[in-house]
Amino acid sequence: MSKFYVVATPIGNLEDITLRALRVLKEVDLILCEDTRVTKKLLDHYAIKKPLLSYHEHSKLAKIDSILKELKTGKNIALVSDAGTPAISDPGSFLISKIKAKFSKTESPDLSTERFREKFGDDVQIIPIPGPSALITALSASGIPSSEFTFLGFLPHKKGRETLFKEIAEAKRTMVFYESPHRILKTLESLQKFAPNKKVCIARELTKIYEEFKTGTPLELLAYFSLNPDKVRGEFTVLVSS
């Protein structure tokens, strides 16, 4: 039976990787990654030498077919993203769904364990290797209520964007999303327009040298980043309190 590992990797600091993740990356036959150059830096740091194959949002179906064939031959494969946990705002979820569809049978299950396995197949075991996530990292140190939250991933650039900000304004739980440095000021302008009284936390450059958490109203944060353009860099996680 092949094993397909979903391996979380550091979001900035290379020390933020688990012993289990390192062991798995050393043992698998192939590592799938968004950008082979980024993953190679991590592997070189830990003296891991394994074949790499790129898989990203622009990969064609033919690439998925080749991955499925590798699994069919019995190879063990690890999936990593450039940073964080694969399949969270990441094309890995599509690949995992294809693997499940390919290697799972659809007959009605017999509730006895052996018959259930026989019908649904044991060709590929999908195994998560948990670890870093910008979403959870930001929530843990933000001071924003986290017992209930909704994660929106990356907001759309145009279509549906205004509707989402209206939903954020009316939300009764914490809303979390990712944003790029190119749109963070426009995002704060939209929050100022639709949710001016909400408490917002911006988590920037998490786990890196210039890690920063800034909390305030949308207007206060807009003023801060407008007056400090050198801070408008890196990846942003935005948390909006209820």
Averaged over 127-146, what is the pLDDT? 96
* Spatial separation of the C-alpha atoms in residues 97 and 23, rounded to whole Å: 25
pLDDT, tens digit (0-9, with 9 covering 90-100), for 214-223: 999 999 999 9
Cα–Cα distance measured from residue 149 to residue 171, given in angstroms and rounded to the nearest whole number: 10
**Contact at 8 Å (CB) between 71 and 2?**
yes
pLDDT tens readout for residues 58-84: 777 888 899 999 999 999 999 999 999
Reported as a single tens digit per residue, the pLDDT across 150-207 is 999 999 888 889 999 999 999 999 999 999 999 999 999 999 999 999 999 999 999 9
For residue 38, pLDDT over 70 is answered with yes
Q: Thinking of the domain 135-240, which architecture would CATH place it in?
A: 2-Layer Sandwich (3.30)
- Write the burial class of residue 145 (CB in 10 Å: 0-12 exposed, 13-18 middle, 19+ buried): middle
Q: Beta strand 124-129 with 174-179: parallel, antiparallel or unpaired?
A: unpaired
pLDDT in tens, 94-114: 899 989 888 765 444 454 545
The per-residue pLDDT for 104 is 66
The CA distance from 122 to 149, in Å, is 35
Measured distance CA(140)–CA(208) in Å, rounded: 16
Alpha-helical regions (H) of the chain: 19-27, 36-45, 61-72, 92-103, 113-120, 134-142, 161-170, 184-194, 218-227
Q: Does residue 15 have a pLDDT over 50?
A: yes
Arithmetic mean of pLDDT over the chain:
91
Is a pLDDT exceeding 70 seen at residue 239? yes
Q: According to the model, what pLDDT value does residue 49 have?
A: 97
pTM for this one?
Answer: 0.86
Domain ranges of the chain: 2-132, 135-240
What is the dihedral sign for C-alpha 142, 207, 130, 155? positive
| DSSP assigned state of 83 | S
DSSP 8-state assignment for residue 28: -
In the prediction, which pLDDT does 60 show? Answer: 78
The top-level CATH class assigned to 2-132 is: alpha beta
